[in-house]
A and B are shown apart, each in its own frame.
Chain A
Amino acid sequence: MHRDLVSLIVNLVRELDGRPGTTIPEELDAGTPLFGRDGFLDSLGLVTLVVGVEQAIEDSFSMRVGLADERAMSQTRSPYRTIGSLAEYAGRLIAAELSDA
């Protein structure tokens, strides 16, 4: 699941290529910083990516999860820090959704 989510996010990040002011690193993996000090996304890029991930999860897993999180701006605890942390966060929400079902 984690690997699927990482590749789903990597694909969505690639789709952001060409956004004004966004330079996508050539190598993308779980450790790639997304947002914050070392990240390459501005807040609008992050919003676009997170919404894209929500919609892709809905399409791929037939599951509705909200990836909104109040720790978004935290340098240390934000689930949007890296591709891996976002995948992990999404995975946790999917697992919670599955256990509720």
Chain B
Amino acid sequence: MLSPVTLITGTRKGIGRFLAEHYVRQGHRVVGCSRAEIDWTLDGYTHYVADVADEKAVRGLLADVRRKYDRLDHVINNAGVASMNHSLLTPVSTVHHVLDTNVVGTFLVSREAAKLMQNHRYGRIVNFTTLAVPLKLAGEAVYVASKAAVLSLTQVLARELVELGITVNAVGPGPVDTDLIRAVPKEKIERLVAQQAVRRIGTFEDIANVVDFFLKPESSFITGQCLFLGGV
């Protein structure tokens, strides 16, 4: 059997890059994308410069995947941006940017990916939401709203795509040591971690573990689910 083809968005750094390396190690043919060029290379990994919120770019990326591999087994919608700011201080341009990347991006990549996956009546889509959704975190209104939308999108897509053999699930990490939370004051992170049952910062491996589970062929009976990390 040919090795699976896995598309991961937002692979320039952080969790996306870690997952790209993780799945290359597992023998997947990994395709990734980010808005900017990457400063690393890896055998078994192909990179595209594409903004997930740009319909034409996403269509082009998936068309290339179809031309090159004629299949797509997994999509990990990792690309995301955050906005840590009080709602009264948040400019509308930030609102559009966050919704575009997190919601529109997840939708577009899922839509175009599902078109390719349905050719083989098989696919696994994993979206990224956040622990900040159930915690209703103050100071992140737009980010939390966008990730709540990703959660709803996951649940509805799961029902729409089930007949095509595609499962759609989400992982909801809490604070993980990435650029996304680097600007957040330490005390705020500590307060957040204190609300988790497991009181520690998450790791890339914690996330990969959940994604591994959703991607397994044996997980065909699991769809529309969200797994929040840390025990919230």
Contact = CB atoms under 8 A, between A and B. Distances in A.
Contacts of A64: 56, 59-60, 63
Interface in B76-134: 111, 115, 118-119
A55 B112 CA distance: 11
Contact of A66 (B55, B118, B164): B55
Interface in B48-62: 55-56, 59-60
Contact of B163 (A44, A54, A68): A44
Q: Which of B115, B118, B119, B164 has the most CB of A within 10 A?
A: B115
B66 interface: yes
Nearest to B62: A64
Chain B at the A interface: SS class: helix
Given A44-B163, A48-B118, A51-B118, A66 B59 contact: yes
B66 A55 contact: yes
A54 B56 CA distance: 14
B115 A51 contact: yes
Interface string A40-74: 00001001100100110010000010101000000
B63 A58 contact: yes
A29 B111 CA distance: 29
Interface string B1-27: 000000000000000000000000000
Nearest to B59: A64
Contacts of A66: 55, 59
Contacts of B111: 68
Contacts of B63: 58, 64
Interface of B: 55-56, 59-60, 63, 66, 111, 115, 118-119, 163-164
Interface of A: 44, 47-48, 51, 54-55, 58, 64, 66, 68
6 contacts: A44-B163, A47-B164, A48-B118, A54-B115, A58-B63, A58-B66
